[in-house]
């Protein structure tokens, strides 16, 4: 797959990383920061994994598919955490995480299908 085939996933990962950074920084400005510690940690983890996925996809790495599958699970976990909080930045982050999870799963499935097609010859 070329980088252009990954473009919607790259954009979703970049958007998710930015939303997670914003959420973590905003959580640190809230009154009860201690109650948001898990949210902040989830945001930081999710943003980092999203950025690694972007790098792999931009390089056309064969590891993109595997890491994007993991990224989807991490994004879902971050969204689950953010959805537990009423802050607007948490709601926005959860939306970006769900979109990224969906894009990552779609990209990983598409990449695996192409690998299978290249490995398994068609039957005649």
Domain segments of the chain as ranges: 7-119
* Phi, psi (rounded to 5 degrees) for 52: -65, -45
Closest to 35 measured CA to CA, from 79, 72, 77, 90: 90
- Global pTM? 0.87
* Phi, psi (rounded to 5 degrees) for 123: -85, 140
Q: What is the mean pLDDT of residues 59-83?
A: 95
109: Cβ–Cβ under 8 A, 6 or more apart, which residues? none
* Residues 23 and 92 sit within 8 Å (Cβ to Cβ): yes
Q: What is the pLDDT of residues 4-36, one digit of tens each?
A: 789 999 999 999 999 999 999 999 999 999 999
- The predicted pLDDT at position 109 comes to 84
| Residue 118, pLDDT above cutoff 50 | no
Q: pLDDT-based confidence at 108, cuts 50/70/90?
A: confident
- The predicted pLDDT at position 93 comes to 98
End-to-end CA distance of the chain: 26
> What CATH topology corresponds to 7-119?
Substrate Binding Domain Of Dnak; Chain:A; Domain 2 (1.20.1270)
107: Cβ–Cβ under 8 A, 6 or more apart, which residues? 6, 8, 9, 57, 64, 65, 68
């Amino acid at each position: 797959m070329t980088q252009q085939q990954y473009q919607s996933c790259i954009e979703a990962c970049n958007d998710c990383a930015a939303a997670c950074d914003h959420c973590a920084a905003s959580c640190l400005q809230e009154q009860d920061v201690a109650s948001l510690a898990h949210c902040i940690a989830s945001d930081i983890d999710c943003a980092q994994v999203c950025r690694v996925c972007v790098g792999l996809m931009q390089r056309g790495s064969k590891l993109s598919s595997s890491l994007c599958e993991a990224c989807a699970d991490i994004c879902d976990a971050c969204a689950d955490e953010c959805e537990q909080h009423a802050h607007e930045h948490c709601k926005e982050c959860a939306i970006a995480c769900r979109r990224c999870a969906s894009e990552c799963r779609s990209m990983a499935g598409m990449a695996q299908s192409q690998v299978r097609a290249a490995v398994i010859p068609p039957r005649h």
